Amino acid sequence: MAKCKSVLKKKNDRESLNADICDHVVFSLSKDIENATERDMGRALALSLRDRLVERMLETRDRYRETKAKRMYYFSIEYLLGRCLGNSLCNMEMLSECEDMFKDLGFDLDEVRESERDPALGNGGLGRLAACFLDSLATLDMPGCGYGIHYEYGLFRQSIQDGYQKELADYWMADGMPLEIIRPDQAVLIPLYGRVENSILPNGEYLPMWLDWEDIVGVPYDIPIVGYGGKTVNYLRLFAARASQNFDMEIFNSGDYIRAVQRKIESEMVSKVLYPSESVSFGKELRLVQEYFLVACGLRDITRRFSAQNKNFEEFSDYVAIQLNDTHPALTVVELMRFLVDEKRIEWGRAWKITQATCAYTNHTLLPEALECWSVDLLEKVLPRHLQLIYEINSRFLDGIKKKYSEDIEKIRRMSLIEEGGKKEVRMANLAVIGSHSVNGVSELHSELVKRRLFPDFYEMNPEKFNNKTNGVTPRRWLLKSNRPLAKLLTDCAGDKWITDLSELKKIEKYATDSEFRDKFVAAKRENKIILSNFIRSTLDIDVSPDSLFDIHAKRIHEYKRQLLNVLHIIHMYLEMVDHGREPLCARTFIFAGKAAPGYWEAKQIIKLIHSVGGVINKDKRVKGLIKVAFTPDYRVSLAEKIIPACDLSEQISTAGTEASGTGNMKFAINGALTIGTLDGANIEMREEVGEDNFYLFGLRQDEVENLLTTRSYHPREIYESSAEVREVLDALYSNRFSPKDPGLFNWIVDKLLADNEQYLHLADFAEYIEVQKTVGLEYSDPVLWNKKAILNTARMGKFSTDRTMREYAEDIWNIKALKNLE
Ligand SMILES: *Cc1c(COP(=O)(O)O)cnc(C)c1O
């Protein structure tokens, strides 16, 4: 067979690229060059880029095949990719060249890129982490690809009406996605529903038969993921659900053709829409089907690829690693067992060893409402054979425990895959833990809590399974591409090695007190702040000064992330000024961004509160413009890329013990923002790295929080009685100062914050937060001091590159190696 060897026919020089773009305008878009619009040029550029990526993707595939490399498959129900064109050009080192070329052609590449849709196939941190991982794997030349769902509608778009969030559908594929490649030839057939018939073979062997199932087709769409330098191109494979050709013969024969077609079309619902929260379990049938669809499509694809090279499934885990991004793909454990036992007729015990050696599980949250459980009734209906297998896995597992711990009934009850109370449910986290050889948390603190609080029994039994992999972010998207003024300065002063080795930025530590460097650092920040100010002025009609301190809180709206605490501080500053005549130490612009889950009433009210407080403060003449509040709607990757480089102060103020890691915190600090934060998630490790003098710490520690809550001894009313500042702020809320036309609107907040054992301890941390915010104001007024600290933040964030994170996973969990293209 002729081989597509690694001969790159497409050149990246200007003439070749220019010619290809013209070709695509004519032959792919069917337009004359003279009439090509900005959008046409963007598409033609993307198609020309895709040609180059495809060549390298084929070369990468050959390289992996020839070396029979072990591969890692990342299973994630979400990928928050962000725009792809600029990022891929950047990693191909073609961005500047393309900008010049477009200018000569009379187009502004920045504007062309702004017109690209921002695919939001994820909710927040978990999906964005998956995207950063893929970038790092390709950059490290590691055989690691992503598997996910090709949702037709991504996360809802957020618009604000009268201060309230309104959700709009996000039909992200409206203009097509020029970089993706559809692969109908590699479609897979997925059975669902039906029943199991238990039969016995003549030789006495048990043979379960899954019958009368309906099927859905999974069609892969590949998005090329190019590593920095363009040597390795991996892919993200997203499956779309399509109706199968197997029509329901009964309905068909009864003559109701239209109904038969309709039934089939309904199966396409599976990949229709992303569920809009990552921190709750939905318990809906469609969501369960989505989770199984991802797992089943992924495994069929993987086993087919494995079979082409090796018929011996006993060796499966020598060539395949699967990482479960949270429990959403936990059914992988069961589906792989079904495949090995039912289809490959491998003996149970050996199949179980293979499954455990293949799978590894990452836990992302300790919030109880996020722990997935599926009712036995629903599983029975959707996946009858899988439910049987779950029972079998459980009974063998519990037998083992009984042997080890004799008859500790409580322990057995806790460790069982089945929750027996009331409605019987399957605990997906327990399934993921016992089916995996590795269980990791995403920061040091979180990994400790995973062991101690979430899975103490499992930890006691298999301590060696549990490990930590602190999250990171990719410096390509979050510094090189999104903050070009700072990236250029860093490269000028420290060389460009930092792009693939972020610890190289240590080299700029020595400039922290160099006035020439500082001036340039300040100029870069100012350039970003001006861009954001203009954006806020033009989209929100709020006038903000780039000379003010930009104090930014951008992330999903959730009570545990404590946007409320931030608002209490803003109200406090406002009252200090207008009621007591005490001006703030520096002018501040408070910027918020974030979506609330559509069904999360409190979070949506918090959005309304931010707008109401901002509405009053922004137009109060007595404030003299010293405090401004802006809520930039529709937080997503492309907006984050605008906001983060312009930030002075990053708000990372979750209640200690609630934020597993955070990755927003890392993006801000890398871009030279100082953090005000609690000892939570990766904040702790960031503070260790940047130095405690360069981090504004406040708040209770996790053990103190846990102690207060478990002893039920947090009584916020006592704080209210003893603190005039707390009283003033809460009374202002209660007296409708920010809701004159809507009396009582925010009373619930006061009631909640004052209730005994309020879960997120807002008022317990309030006084210290206000105090540390004063220090922030004071130090911001001293630019030499402030910028020294900001520079040291950028310089010392090397640990938080996902390149480091991926090396650790590769070495400790996956056992995969880099495979460089040496040409
Ligand atoms: C990084 C990122 C997040 C995660 O932010 P956290 O502060 O870690 O919660 C969420 N959404 C978007 C768009 C992001 O880029």
Q: Categorize the per-residue pLDDT at 4 as very low, low, confident or very high, splitting at 50, 70 and 90.
A: very low
d(CA 90, CA 813): 30
pLDDT given for residue 370 in this prediction:
87
Give the start-to-end residue ranges of the domains of the chain: 68-82+118-470+808-814, 480-800
Chain centroid to Cα 661, Å, comes to 11
d(CA 94, CA 10): 13
Name 200's bridge partners: 206
Q: Is the CB of 636 under 6 A from ligand 1?
A: yes
Whether residue 447 contacts residue 682, with contact meaning beta carbons closer than 8 Å, is answered with no
Whether residue 742 contacts residue 733, with contact meaning beta carbons closer than 8 Å, is answered with no
In the residue annotation, 561 being an active-site residue is answered as yes
Domain 480-800 has CATH 3.40.50.2000: yes
- Confirm whether pTM is higher than 0.95: yes
> Ligand 1 centre and the CA of 598: distance in Å?
18
| The one catalytic residue among 231, 555, 604, 687 | 555
Whether residue 478 contacts residue 470, with contact meaning beta carbons closer than 8 Å, is answered with no
> Ligand 1 centre and the CA of 560: distance in Å?
14
Q: Is the CB of 122 under 6 A from ligand 1?
A: no
Q: What is the mean pLDDT of residues 565-591?
A: 98
d(CA 224, CA 704): 47
Could you identify the atom of ligand 1 that is nearest to the CA of residue 125? Answer: 4
Q: Whose CA is nearest to atom 10 of ligand 1?
A: 124
| 606-622: burial string, b at 16+ Cβ within 10 Å, e else | bbbbbbbbbebbbeeee
> Ligand 1 centre and the CA of 8: distance in Å?
37
Could you identify the atom of ligand 1 that is nearest to the CA of residue 637? Answer: 13
In the residue annotation, 364 being an active-site residue is answered as yes
Pocket residue to mutate for ligand 1, from 78, 80, 476, most atoms within 8 A of Cβ: 80
> Ligand 1 centre and the CA of 72: distance in Å?
25
- Mean residue pLDDT of the chain comes to 95
Tens digits of residue pLDDT in 129-141? 999 999 999 999 9
Q: Which CATH superfamily is domain 68-82+118-470+808-814 in?
A: Glycogen Phosphorylase B; (3.40.50.2000)
> Ligand 1 centre and the CA of 124: distance in Å?
5
pLDDT at 89 over 60: yes
> Ligand 1 centre and the CA of 129: distance in Å?
9
d(CA 426, CA 446): 24
Tens digits of residue pLDDT in 189-212? 999 999 999 888 888 888 888 998
d(CA 344, CA 611): 60
Tens digits of residue pLDDT in 153-188? 999 999 999 999 999 999 999 888 999 999 999 999
In the residue annotation, 667 being an active-site residue is answered as yes
Q: Is the CB of 640 under 6 A from ligand 1?
A: yes
pLDDT given for residue 251 in this prediction:
65
> Ligand 1 centre and the CA of 128: distance in Å?
7
Tens digits of residue pLDDT in 408-427? 899 999 999 999 988 899 99
In the residue annotation, 555 being an active-site residue is answered as yes
d(CA 595, CA 55): 39
Q: What is the mean pLDDT of residues 339-355?
A: 97
Q: Is the CB of 124 under 6 A from ligand 1?
A: yes
Q: Is the CB of 81 under 6 A from ligand 1?
A: no
- Minimal CA–CA distance to 331: which of 439, 426, 456, 220? 426
In the residue annotation, 805 being an active-site residue is answered as no
| The one catalytic residue among 386, 558, 608, 667 | 667
In the residue annotation, 572 being an active-site residue is answered as no
Whole-number CA gyration radius for the chain: 28
Name 222's bridge partners: 181, 237
d(CA 418, CA 390): 9
Q: Whose CA is nearest to atom 1 of ligand 1?
A: 664
